[in-house]
Amino acid sequence: MESCNDRRNFIIIGKYWISKTVIISVPFRFLVINSETYESEVYFDYKLLEFIRTEDLDSKPLEEYFKSLNYNIKEEMLKQKS
């Protein structure tokens, strides 16, 4: 797993660090670390957005990452078909 000391590997929203490395499943799963308690949890993508909104945090960085991730996956799939 990526270094927890390297902020580039995470989307940081409030006290939560969300790993940019996804667990491949349908839908994707993300590791979320609470930087205050160091507790971690794994969330499906849609549950993660729900959680961030429930915590009343700005979900925009996460939504932007989801969009870029989806685009990259589509690009990779197109390359494989060629």
Residue 71: which domain range? 7-81
**Three-class SS string for the chain?**
CCCCCCHHHEEEECCEEEECCCECCCCCEEEEEECCCCCEEEEEHHHHHHHHHHCCCCCHHHHHHHHHHHHHHHHHHHHHHC
Identify whether 1 is part of a domain. Answer: no
CB distance 47 to 54 below 8 Å: no
Asked whether residue 71 is domain-assigned, the answer is yes
The total domain count for the chain is: 1
- Domain assignment of residue 2, yes or no: no
Report yes or no on whether pTM surpasses 0.85: no
Report residues of the chain scoring pLDDT below 70. 1-5, 71-82
Sign of CA dihedral 66, 71, 75, 78: positive
What pLDDT shows up at residue 2?
46
